[in-house]
Chain A
Amino acid sequence: MKTSTTLIPGFVRRAPLNLKVGVILAATFTLMLVVAYFSIISTFSIFLDKINTDQLNREIVALQQHMHEIEEEVVNAARLLSYAPGLTEAVNARDADALRTTILLQGESLELDTIIVVDSFKDVLLNISGTDVTLSPQETDRILSLALLGTSTSEVITNTESESSIQLVAISSFKDTSGKVIGAVLAGRSIDDSFMDMLNFGRSNPAIALIHNSRLVAQSTIESAGAAVYDASSHQSQIDQAQRGEIWMSSTADSSDRNLDIPTQALAYAPLPIGGQSRSVLAVVNDYQTLYDFQQNLTINNIYIIILVLGSTVTAVILVLSWSVTRPILQLRSISQKIAAGNFQQRVQLRSEDEIGQLAQAFNAMAQEVEHRIAEAQAGRERAETSDKVKSAFLASMSHELRTPLNAVINFTRFVVDGDMGPVNAEQSEMLNESISSAKHLLKLINNILDMSKIESGSLKLFIEDNISMNSILESAVHTGRGLLAGKPVRLHSEIEPDLPLLRGDKQRMLQIVLNILGNACKFTEEGDIHVRARQQDGNILISISDTGPGIAPEDMGSVFEPFQQTKTGLRQGGGTGLGMPIAKNLAEAHGGRLWLESEADKGTTFFITLPVKSAILQPTLA
């Protein structure tokens, strides 16, 4: 138990309940938020990947389509040039100027980089090259041969200067009126960076590049995050795959294949068939940073909103808990403390009917019951006190009313016996003395009955004094005892330690204790010895009174100290009320002492009394 509480820091144990719940809620929400955040990010990445894949596919289709259109344009341009007005005449006439004029006029709006016109002998009649590079003569010768055979085609031809510079060319032959091929026209369009820009519809995203014979020949130049971010040489296998006609695409989910520095880019290699050849590959780099940023901002904004909502929720929970749990509990505590302090009218004021409300109701019911019982106990105590007072007053009045006539009975008789009223003869004297003795016995009985009543009603009051001499009490008792024994063959021995310590207690009652016991011993002992012994022992005075009387049978032992019970012997002996012993025992105990007996039938009885020298339970009445 101890270890488990010490494991929890004090400030946690002391923290308010609503705060603890709030912290737990906040922690849970934060954890959920983190999980949700990463879940969203991961889901979005997959989603983005999918979007990007679709986008790239659409891009590839569009670009291939565009390329095809451009190729058609060049083919058409070659055909258009072969129908240029005056071409046949100029060729027949070998008029270079006229040829140039007619071709330039026809080709003005055709955006061609190269125009070559040859005759049927493949002699070049006109060669207009818009770029600094010239076509590879072998390839030009080959394609023109095809043209002169009447074929109309298009293909990619490398430039002489650089193998990484290519042109898209188309050819068209032209005939004279007899239908004989008299020459051919070649129209070429340089596939350079600006071509790529055009192919890309002038966009910056995606960035595209053309790879021909595994060489990068041109790429879009409009500034883009995707421009020149890939290294074609490291993608040889992917490029080869595209050359075989399959599209290869990078995937975010498979980042090992990406080889991209920027995580927000996707890359595809797609075949770009030109002129029936498939030596060209289109690289498309799509950048989705914007989308990514947008999503990021959206996520962050959402997180702000979520944090705001969760924060409000936690605050609301704390407030609700505070209002509905903590506050009532504190109120309950405060009311409990007030009730504990004796303010029994206090009640908890709670209107809610939830568990706390029910607790409060139960608490109030308990408080009601407590108040009721306290009031009852109070009333009971008052009743008991009143009843005790009434009882005490009755006993006091009874004592007074009985003693007053006995005063007259005893003392008038005494006057007569003493001869104050004239001479009395022996017989009269004896009878009058008997009457005095009976009256005194009656007085004693009355006293005993009143004492017992007081003991039983708990209204016995001791008159406590200090410095009571047990020696003088015992002396007086022994003196009385000797008087009682007059005429009987019984010796009364006093073995009292001199200078017993002075006691605190009720002198009169102490004498009563000793006299009740010694009186009995004198009464019941017919012959032999009575020993009164007293000594100091362990802070007590131990008094023993032993006789050689009839003793007390074991079956009577228990009844000796029971009020109104007398032993068989006691009954035989006659007289007495059976109250002497119980009163003596009660008085000894009221002093913090004890009274007990040891007896053997026919051998005698020993009573023991202990009285504390300075009883802790007694306070001097007059102090």
Chain B
Amino acid sequence: MDREPVVLYVEDDVNSRKLMEMLLKRRMKLKHVTILEDSQNFISNMQALDPKPNLILLDIHMLPHNGFEMLAMLREMSWVGDTPIVALTASVMNEEVQRLRNAGFDGCISKPLEIEDFPDTIARILEGERVWRITS
């Protein structure tokens, strides 16, 4: 890893946020973790981010903008480039994953999370691997 992971996570479910915060900050001890609880003012929130993330995790079922809309907005931003944007969702039926792939997500991590494997998964994604981790 050339630089330290800078993670952005957008999630409206409070328990999921709490869980991820523990995972990312406590377990993985990442310094740069931004967790947004809704998608309001998404564009201005993104512009305000500093440093810019090198991994973006998006929940899909959100308001006012869902994961697909956020993805589309991110793809418009020049700094995003090839920053991996990964869906973190409980909607993991084949047709739903198919929609994620078609929309242009770089990967998918399913809920419930396998927290033992999670750091490894993140590392692989940061190395450019496309992870479609769909487990029962």
Contacts and interface: CB of A to CB of B under 8 A. Distances in A.
Interface of A: 392, 395-396, 399-408, 410-412, 414-415, 420, 443-444, 447, 450, 454, 461-463, 506, 508, 512, 621-622
Nearest to A447: B136
Nearest to A392: B95
A404 B16 contact: yes
B99 to A, nearest CB: 10
A403 B136 CA distance: 10
Interface in B1-50: 13, 15-16, 18-19, 22, 26-27
Contact of B92 (A392, A403, A512): A403
A479 B6 CA distance: 35
B112 interface: yes
Most buried by A among B98, B115, B134: B115
Contacts, number: 74
Given A412-B19, A420-B26, A400 B90 contact: yes
Contact of B90 (A399, A506, A508): A399
Contacts of A406: 111-112
A392 B93 CA distance: 10
Task: Pick the 9 closest A-B CB pairs, nearest first.
Answer: A403-B90, A408-B15, A407-B112, A407-B111, A463-B94, A400-B90, A400-B91, A404-B90, A461-B94
Given A403-B90, A463-B98, A444 B136 contact: yes
B113 interface: yes
B124 interface: no
Given A407-B111, A411-B19, A396 B96 contact: yes
A443 B136 CA distance: 7
Contacts of A450: 93
Nearest to B135: A508
A506 B136 CA distance: 15
Given A411-B115, A414-B115, A461 B136 contact: no
Contact of A462 (B13, B94, B115): B94
A543 B13 CA distance: 43
A420 B28 CA distance: 12
A461 B90 CA distance: 17
Interface in B99-122: 101, 110-113, 115
A461 B19 contact: no
B97 interface: yes
A411 B91 contact: no
B61 interface: yes
A34 B61 CA distance: 97
Contacts of B22: 415, 420
A407 B113 contact: yes
A404 B15 CA distance: 9
Nearest to B23: A411
Contact of A396 (B15, B93, B115, B134): B93
A410 B90 CA distance: 14
A399 B94 contact: no
8 contacts: A392-B95, A396-B96, A400-B91, A402-B90, A411-B115, A415-B115, A420-B27, A444-B136
B134 A508 contact: yes
Contacts of A407: 15-16, 19, 90, 111-113
A622 B13 CA distance: 31
Nearest to A446: B136
A412 B113 CA distance: 11
A411 B113 contact: yes
Nearest to B15: A408
Contacts of A399: 90-93
Contacts of A508: 94, 134
Most buried by A among B13, B16, B93: B93
A457 to B, nearest CB: 13
Contacts of A463: 94, 97-98
Contacts of B89: 400
Nearest to A405: B15
A302 B123 CA distance: 114
A443 B113 CA distance: 12
